[in-house]
Chains A and B, each alone.
Chain A
Amino acid sequence: MASVTLKHIEKIYPAQDKPDGKQNLRISEEGVHAVEDFNLEIKDQEFIVLVGPSGCGKSTTLRMIAGLESISRGDLYIDGTLMNNVPPKERDISMVFQNYALYPHMTVQENMEFPLKLRKTPKEEIRRRVQEAAEMLEIKDLLKRKPGALSGGQRQRVAIGRAIVRHPKVLLMDEPLSNLDAKLRNQMRAEIIQLRKQLKTTFIYVTHDQTEAMTLGDRIVIMKDGVIQQIGTPEEVYDHPTNLFVAGFIGVPKMNFFKGTLLKTGTEYKVEIEDVIFPLPKDACKTLVSSGTLVQDVIIGVRPENILLMQTESLTQSGSTAKAQPLPTQPANAGLRALPGTADVSELMGATVQLHFTACDGDRTAVIPALQWESMQLQPGQPLAFSFRGSDIHLFSETSGKSLLREPEKV
């Protein structure tokens, strides 16, 4: 029931406790910059997901919104009110912690009543709200138990229950599902989607799992080393990643990256990978023309599901000149140029097969329909040929890693 606005939010930890060397956080004389220049407008009842690798500052950002961590610089508004120095309990938010943080000496019911009692809610109202939440989360039978006598999934439900009984303006969740096993996680994810439909609340959800981010979020904020990389809907970040990091982070299996060169003839652009030329579609050329992109070394990104496998005509023939024959099961790909590779292991995922292969000096992945896979009968070590459509190409500058196919962002 509230909008949240973050303006140039920064978190600087004093330098004396330096993070371990793995992180690439910026360090100035002020200290370690765990979150840098974070700008985000969250609309009322939006579901925002903060996602990124470990140590990128997701939790820190969330904790600043909660008021558990001081804000070093910038302004935080909830419903238009400046919140920087307002204590957590007056922000009308609630939070679900990764380790549940249930009070072990209280029963489930007491746990859920606790925040309401502190707010002097009338008894009748408390009873009603706890019942309502317990019904929603299907934990009515557990109300008399202590948290110690619950399974992980049940504890998580109770933690969510305790967070929602108060009908907070903003519901914060810090990796709430990461302690659950894979099956339970999928189930809880579906339940959070359900919950979201029933509650009229703004959600801010932290996770390091991109699948969770893609399925839950209205918009996703992808972070790395304390800096926002991209903000967008799941489709946007999947179809138009702004840089190499986002392209590699979003999507399973990971996007394939090839080294190549961008060539230009008039207003036509092409990319060349190992002497094989792939023309780029019209709209891509337009973007490149309007941004005045020059001939340069580039990184070409292709998602595994966009890789088209072809049978090589003869096993003795190899190299880039191998004539590739489109498979009968594939749509007509006539005119596509092919690159050579060598098959490695394959994994059957159900309806699709994930094939690992070696090509252009690196390990690549392709996802192909299981039916097609059976008709190909590729064994590990056998040569193969593959290609992709020009329209499936993601193009990144080799020097900056930025996408070349996105219009410069209007701020």
Chain B
Amino acid sequence: MSTLTKEEIDHLKNTANAKALQRRRLKTSALLITNVIFAFLILLPLLYAVSIAFMPSGELFSTEMNLLPKHPTLTNFRDALQKVPLFRFVLNSFIVAGLITIGQIISCSLAAFSFSFLNFKGKEVLFMLLMATMMIPGEATIISNYLTVSGWGWLDSYHVLIIPYLTSAMGIFLFRQFYKSFPISLYESAMIDGCSNIRFIFRILLPLTKSAIGAMAVYTFINAWNMYMWPLLVTGSQQMRTVQIGISMLNSVDAQSMTLMIAGVVIIILPSISIFIIGQKQLIRGMFSGAVKG
């Protein structure tokens, strides 16, 4: 009892090792399974929508439970594309959301730069004012904005969709938060080296805050893509409609069909989902880049 042979010691070691390994595997797989279940539950409505899009409309309203189409068909997609110019809507939305994103990135990063790096009289007050505008809900100003742009004769055009959204208080605020964690001595060093403000922004600040810009871009793009009230108000013709409105048109056109509408929805969420997937890494990194080392 008192002495163990080398083999016995090895054997004990191996079994202990194997046990630990097994326990870890078990834990990992349990975690994985839970995650998959939850992911499935959360994705269920979306997946169901995709499935409906492929169903003939008769199948949806039958009494039996059917999650998957029995006779998959593409007619819904074809009909949706025929009823309304969906591609035109998607194109419109891309143009509008894209330009808004570019505009906001430029204007917000520049404004946030001056709020965080420059010193001028009334900086604090100005920033407070800016933040205060975030408290006003967009719906409250929408009518007066409408009157303004219609007075200018801007209705039913691209610029009326884009220009009012070229900057945002939220964007300025977010960029300023990102810049707060930017070491000020880099700015001072650049100033002494003979760098102008503009050059500093393009040569040093922007390259070093790429992840913040990526996050902002995704956030802004999705917001602009999902805009509803404003485009509804200021656009009238089919040519200028964006997807969100276009899709509701499917609903109101003569005979309404659930499957038809959902096919339209599936077509239009594809771009925004793919943007999200492409930008996801940036978004998450950007969201947390300021979290540590305040």
Contacts and interface: CB of A to CB of B under 8 A. Distances in A.
A102 to B, nearest CB: 8
Q: Closest 10 interchain pairs by CB? A: A115-B193, A101-B189, A89-B194, A101-B185, A118-B194, A97-B185, A88-B191, A88-B192, A105-B207, A68-B188
Contacts of B188: 66, 68, 88, 95, 97, 101
A94 B193 contact: yes
A119 B208 CA distance: 23
Nearest to A96: B189
B186 interface: yes
Interface in B172-201: 183, 185-186, 188-195, 199
Given A89-B191, A94-B192, A118-B194, A103 B199 contact: no
B204 interface: yes
A71 interface: no
B192 A89 contact: yes
Interface in A98-121: 98-99, 101, 103-105, 114-115, 118-119
Nearest to A100: B185
A119 B192 CA distance: 12
B183 A115 contact: no
A381 interface: no
A405 interface: no
Interface in B203-255: 204, 207-208
A93 interface: yes
A299 B46 CA distance: 85
8 contacts: A88-B188, A88-B191, A95-B189, A101-B185, A103-B190, A105-B207, A114-B193, A114-B195
Contacts of B185: 97-99, 101
A118 B190 CA distance: 10
B190 to A, nearest CB: 8
A101 B186 contact: yes
Interface of A: 66-68, 87-89, 93-95, 97-99, 101, 103-105, 114-115, 118-119, 162, 166
A87 B193 contact: no
A101 B188 CA distance: 9
A118 B195 contact: yes
B127 to A, nearest CB: 16
A117 to B, nearest CB: 9
B122 to A, nearest CB: 14
Contacts of A119: 194
B191 A118 contact: no
Contacts of A101: 183, 185-186, 188-189
Contact of A68 (B191, B204, B207): B191
A96 to B, nearest CB: 9
Nearest to B208: A105
Nearest to B193: A115
Contacts of A103: 186, 190, 204, 208
A199 to B, nearest CB: 17
Contacts of A114: 193, 195
Interface of B: 183, 185-186, 188-195, 199, 204, 207-208
Contacts, number: 52
B214 to A, nearest CB: 15
A66 B192 contact: yes
Nearest to B188: A68
B183 A89 contact: no
A118 B207 contact: no
Central interface residue in A93, A104, A162, by most chain B CB within 10 Å: A104
Contacts of A66: 188, 192
Contacts of B195: 89, 114, 118
A12 B193 CA distance: 27
Contact of A99 (B183, B199, B208): B183
A87 B199 CA distance: 16
B208 A89 contact: no
Contacts of A115: 193-194
Given A103-B186, A103-B208, A118-B193, 19 more contacts: A66-B188, A66-B192, A67-B191, A68-B192, A87-B191, A88-B188, A89-B192, A94-B193, A97-B188, A97-B189, A99-B185, A101-B188, A103-B190, A104-B208, A114-B193, A114-B195, A115-B193, A162-B193, A166-B193
Given A103-B204, A105-B208, A118-B199, A93 B192 contact: yes
Nearest to A119: B194
Nearest to A165: B193
A162 B188 CA distance: 14
B201 to A, nearest CB: 13
A105 B207 CA distance: 7
Contacts of B204: 103, 105
A168 B208 CA distance: 28
A89 B187 CA distance: 12
B221 to A, nearest CB: 25
Nearest to B189: A101
A89 B193 contact: yes
Contacts of B190: 103
A166 B195 CA distance: 14
Nearest to A66: B192
Contacts of A97: 185, 188-189
Contacts of B189: 95, 97, 101
Central interface residue in B186, B192, B194, B208, by most chain A CB within 10 Å: B192
A277 B185 CA distance: 56
A95 B194 CA distance: 12
A192 to B, nearest CB: 19
